[in-house]
Amino acid sequence: MFKLLGAFCIVAGCSYLGLRIASIYRKRTELFRFLQNGLTLLETEINYTSTPLPLALERVGQKMHKDCQPLFIRAATVLQEKKGVTAAEAWAAGVRALGGEVPLTKEETELLYVFGHGLGGSAKEEQVKNIALTRKQLSLVEKVAEEEQVKNQKLWQYLGFSLGAVIVLILI
Amino acid sequence: MAKVFINKEKNNECLSGMETSPLTISSLTWFQALSPQLQELVSEGLQPFVGEIEEIRLRVKRPVLFRVGTKEMTVTAQKKFTLQLEQGYVITKEDLEKTVQILSQNSLYAWEDEFKNGYLTIPGGHRIGFVGRGVLEQGYLKTLKDLSGINYRIGRQILGCADDVLPYLVKREQIDHTLIISPPQCGKTTLLRDLVRQISTGIPELLFPGVNVGLVDERSEIAGMYQGEPQFQIGLRTDVLDACPKAQGMMMLIRSMSPGVIATDEIGKNEDVEALYHALQAGVKVITTVHGSSFEEIKARPNLQALINWRFFEKIIVLSRRKGVGTLEMILDGKNLEKLR
């Protein structure tokens, strides 16, 4: 009886782990899609309504999916609360908060940091260009993430269960 | 008989009594708009002058200057205030950059027009002016770069400063066309602001019920509009056209808001004079100001000469700084140029 229960626990645990890893691939693809949407919203705030950055980031954050929210909300909070902080520093804090939610590669983090350096410090035209460029790069990143998702999502879903089953077989 | 209105009432820094007396420096919006380093330097030493400070000037590679009344002082790196200006803390390029970052909330794009005009208004209605190197596009100024100087002009509201003037301008339920002549820094905007407030709300002592006032605030100084909200008390019936060219704004207001009185600051251009004629035809009364130190000086200016000769203004008020900001030099009857006070 205990053996059966143990076996069930092992298989369930490993399957869950597999599903979690598989869901990260899906989340990453979604994140890069949401980020592009977020940048489009930010572009509207900057280009059409000339909203100052702290408020613009907050408004975008409120409209975003919860996976993507930490980036905008954290950056807005840092800008509102800390006097003398630069937009790049606040954005970097946002990127770190985002990294805590969804794993990002070094290149992806770097891409977001670079975007932050151009944030706020120039005329609308330049801001729009910076946003367009980053959006383009994010769409490429999204494609790569999507390919990885197709390749790995199913694999991890099955792998978790199979690994659990193998462990049980070995133990029995 | 001269009247000085600087100490008449406690300075009301902001609408709705957000900053009530005693004023603590850290609660003031202009103080919060300084860079953290400057805030630290001045926070203690400036407190005694907080009600009287008029200007703070930051010029690159030169000492920071504070104008308090007619005196200019500076602060040393050891946080001591002194009249020995050469001992003052020297402003660096980084100080200016940090200040601009704070003023623009890290969003230069949001203030493009303000930078083009060389100034912006911050909460509290204070005006910050800039100089730097112009960036031109097709011969026109597009923006400023390499900023080399920033000037904080602390806006003040003195409620009731128009009390002595109003009895001369109000007759029955009518207001006279009025011209305020004053050199810079003598309180003409402050006087105009209080005139607008009282005329708009009504003056029970003079049995004046209050009329709709259209305020064309080309330089955002009178109402101190910040993101669509007036930062000073401007009265119950006042409509503000903010950052709008005067002549165009006056015509627009006459068409759109049917004001009884139009108030505007610093007329002088040809088209301003033309807009005044239109106001007259529409039966709208005009209160306006002009830079100048005496009535004679104004009479000599070609554009204004026509208005004076035509006896457009019914009352002419001359201000000076002889006995402090807002010294009321004289009030003239515009029709017969008789001195009323």
pLDDT tens, A45-69?
999 988 999 999 999 999 998 888 9
SS (H, E, C) B252-263: HHHHHHCCCEEE
- Within 10 Å of residue B296's Cβ, how many Cβ atoms? 8
- Predicted confidence at residue A165, as pLDDT, reads 86
pLDDT confidence tier of residue B213, bands split at 50, 70 and 90: very high
- Predicted confidence at residue B7, as pLDDT, reads 39
| Whether residue B208 sits in one domain with residue B257 | yes
| Whether residue B262 sits in one domain with residue B231 | yes
Q: Rounded to whole angstroms, how far apart are CA atoms A64 and A56?
A: 12
Contact between chains at B108 and A51 (C-beta distance less than 8 A): no
- Predicted confidence at residue B1, as pLDDT, reads 41
B338 found inside a domain: no
| Whether residue B116 sits in one domain with residue B28 | yes
Contact between chains at A52 and B143 (C-beta distance less than 8 A): no
Contact B194, B8 (CB under 8 A): no
pLDDT confidence tier of residue A155, bands split at 50, 70 and 90: confident
Q: Which of B32, B109, B143 sits opposite A46 (nearest CB)?
A: B109
Helix (H) or strand (E) holding B184: none
- Predicted confidence at residue B25, as pLDDT, reads 80
| Whether residue B244 sits in one domain with residue B110 | no
Q: Tell me which residue range forms the domain holding B180.
A: 166-333
Task: Provide, rounded to the nearest whole percent, the portion of chain A with pLDDT above 70.
Answer: 100
Cα B273–Cα B279–Cα B281 angle in degrees, nearest 5: 110
| Whether residue B170 sits in one domain with residue B149 | no
CB interface of B with A, residues 23-42, below 8 Å: 32, 35-36, 39
The answer to whether ipTM exceeds 0.90 is no
| Whether residue B184 sits in one domain with residue B105 | no
pLDDT confidence tier of residue B311, bands split at 50, 70 and 90: confident
Task: Provide, rounded to the nearest whole percent, the portion of chain B with pLDDT above 90.
Answer: 38
B339 found inside a domain: no
- Predicted confidence at residue B194, as pLDDT, reads 95
Give how far the C-alpha of residue B159 lies from the chain's centroid of Cα atoms, to the nearest Å.
14
Asked whether residue B12 carries a pLDDT value surpassing 80, the answer given is no
Asked whether residue B124 carries a pLDDT value surpassing 90, the answer given is no
Asked whether residue B117 carries a pLDDT value surpassing 90, the answer given is no
Q: Rounded to whole angstroms, how far apart are CA atoms B110 and A17?
A: 47
Give how far the C-alpha of residue A166 lies from the chain's centroid of Cα atoms, to the nearest Å.
33
Q: Rounded to whole angstroms, how far apart are CA atoms A52 and A87?
A: 11
Q: Rounded to whole angstroms, how far apart are CA atoms B167 and B76?
A: 48
pLDDT confidence tier of residue B252, bands split at 50, 70 and 90: very high
| Whether residue B322 sits in one domain with residue B201 | yes
- Predicted confidence at residue B180, as pLDDT, reads 93
Considering its fold, how many domains does chain B have in total?
2
- Predicted confidence at residue B22, as pLDDT, reads 57
| Whether residue B288 sits in one domain with residue B140 | no
| Whether residue B196 sits in one domain with residue B131 | no
pLDDT confidence tier of residue A38, bands split at 50, 70 and 90: very high
Average pLDDT over residues A111-136: 92
Amino acid at A137: Q
Contact B155, B124 (CB under 8 A): yes
> What's the distance, Cα to Cα, between the start and end of chain B in Å?
7
| Whether residue B179 sits in one domain with residue B324 | yes
B293 found inside a domain: yes
Asked whether residue B289 carries a pLDDT value surpassing 90, the answer given is yes
- Predicted confidence at residue B208, as pLDDT, reads 92
pLDDT confidence tier of residue B215, bands split at 50, 70 and 90: very high
Contact between chains at A79 and B112 (C-beta distance less than 8 A): no
Asked whether residue A169 carries a pLDDT value surpassing 50, the answer given is yes
| Whether residue B49 sits in one domain with residue B80 | yes
Contacts with B277 (C-beta within 8 Å, 6 or more apart), sequence order: none
Task: Provide, rounded to the nearest whole percent, the portion of chain A with pLDDT above 90.
Answer: 51
Report the candidate in B213, B225, B199 with the shortest Cα–Cα distance to residue B254: B213
Chain A CB contacts of B123 below 8 Å:
none
Asked whether residue A101 carries a pLDDT value surpassing 60, the answer given is yes
Give how far the C-alpha of residue B5 lies from the chain's centroid of Cα atoms, to the nearest Å.
15
B123 found inside a domain: yes
* Per-range mean pLDDT, top range of A4-8, A152-156, B13-17, B302-306: A4-8
B6 found inside a domain: no
- Predicted confidence at residue B318, as pLDDT, reads 93
Domain endpoint, select from B101, B127, B153: B153
B142 found inside a domain: yes
Ordered DSSP codes for A59-70: HHHHHS-TTTHH
- Predicted confidence at residue B200, as pLDDT, reads 95
Ordered DSSP codes for B254-314: HHHH--SEEEES---SHHHHHHHHHHHHTT-EEEEEEE-SSHHHHHTSHHHHHHHHTT--S
| Whether residue B175 sits in one domain with residue B67 | no
Helix (H) or strand (E) holding B234: none
For residue B300, what is the domain's CATH number?
Answer: 3.40.50.300
Ordered DSSP codes for A74-104: HHHHHHHHSTT--HHHHHHHHHHHHHHHS--
Domain endpoint, select from B153, B187, B206: B153
Q: Rounded to whole angstroms, how far apart are CA atoms B318 and B183?
A: 9
A56 touches B at CB < 8 Å: yes
Distance to chain B for A53, nearest Cα, Å = 6
- Predicted confidence at residue B285, as pLDDT, reads 93
Domain endpoint, select from B94, B125, B153: B153
Q: Rounded to whole angstroms, how far apart are CA atoms B106 and A52?
A: 7
Contact B214, B262 (CB under 8 A): yes
B1 found inside a domain: no
- Predicted confidence at residue A45, as pLDDT, reads 92
